Amino acid sequence: MSAPVMIFLGTAGSGKGTQAQKLSENLDIVHLSTGDLLREARDNSTELGEAAESYIAAGDLVPDELILNLIKEKLSDDNIRSKGCILDGFPRTIAQAEGLSALLKTLNITLDKVFLFDISLEETIERLGGRRICATCQRIFHVKHNPATAANHPCDGELKIRVDDTEEKIRYRYKVYQEQTAPLIDYYSAKLVTLDAAASPDIIYNTIKGQIMALED
């Protein structure tokens, strides 16, 4: 069996990034978050970062061509073939999904599963309002549900609120998701596993892990 290749699909605040981080660390699977890669590029003022900055701040999607170039470079990494990968927050449009499909075909890699993190707008607003991200290690915390401690945050880096985590931007990003990303639910219907993203993080983690283990049988 080849290493698992999965997409995590869902609105901002659905918990996909937190689950992807944990699965990646525990099961040694590559975690590719286009949001993290874009923020890193922005913070390092690279050409990509400068091109993406205004889209990120507005809560709009970065143009497909820029995202596909970024993913093309990352998917060529040999670790993907040996360890597998979680695509977190990519694809976000049908054009990106078609680009991904072509790329995977060239690399002779099969997409195994698409996990949909299903959650309401109200829950999203509650979660993202309390979200904090470490500027150093990129770990995600929540002031109420998952506060940073010496045990879960050994680097003790500065915790920041994202520029796009205001209520107005969260509502706007939800609308962008419904318009541009939700069509992927039908597109991937054959590989889709829908998760109740309001359930406890442990239940969600174990469900996904179970699905990954079943792929290996």
Task: Give the whole-angstrom CA distance, residue 213 versus residue 217.
Answer: 7
Q: CB of residue 217 vs ligand AMP: minimum separation in angstroms? A: 31
Task: Give the whole-angstrom CA distance, residue 178 versus residue 10.
Answer: 10
Catalytic residue of the set 72, 162, 169, 209: 162
On whether the CB atoms of residues 125 and 205 are closer than 8 A, the answer is no
Q: CB of residue 71 vs ligand AMP: minimum separation in angstroms? A: 8
Q: Which is nearer to ligand AMP, 125 or 215 (CB)?
A: 125
The gap between the terminal CA atoms of the chain, to the nearest Å, is 8
Q: Is residue 132 flagged as an active site residue?
A: no
Q: CB of residue 158 vs ligand AMP: minimum separation in angstroms? A: 18
Catalytic residue of the set 39, 42, 92, 139: 92
The residue count for the chain: 217
Q: Is residue 39 flagged as an active site residue?
A: no
- 8-state DSSP, 179: I
Q: Which amino acid is at 108?
A: N
Q: Which residue number is nearest to ligand AMP in terms of Cβ?
A: 35
Task: Give the whole-angstrom CA distance, residue 117 versus residue 7.
Answer: 11
Q: Which is nearer to ligand AMP, 121 or 217 (CB)?
A: 121
On whether the CB atoms of residues 1 and 81 are closer than 8 A, the answer is no
Q: Which is nearer to ligand AMP, 2 or 54 (CB)?
A: 54
Q: Is residue 81 flagged as an active site residue?
A: no
Catalytic residue of the set 16, 113, 127, 139: 16
Q: CB of residue 131 vs ligand AMP: minimum separation in angstroms? A: 10
Instruction: Answer positive or negative: Cα dihedral of 216, 106, 102, 82.
Output: positive
Q: CB of residue 198 vs ligand AMP: minimum separation in angstroms? A: 18
| Sites of contact with ligand AMP (CB under 6 A) | 12, 34-35, 38, 55-56, 59-62, 67, 89-92, 96, 164, 173
Q: Which long-range contacts (CB under 8 A, 24 or more apart) does 195-203 make?
A: 195/115, 195/116, 195/117, 195/118, 196/118, 197/10, 197/14, 197/15, 197/16, 197/117, 197/118, 197/119, 197/123, 198/119, 198/120, 198/123, 201/15, 201/18, 201/19, 201/146
Q: Would you name the residues annotated as active-site residues?
A: 16, 92, 131, 162, 173
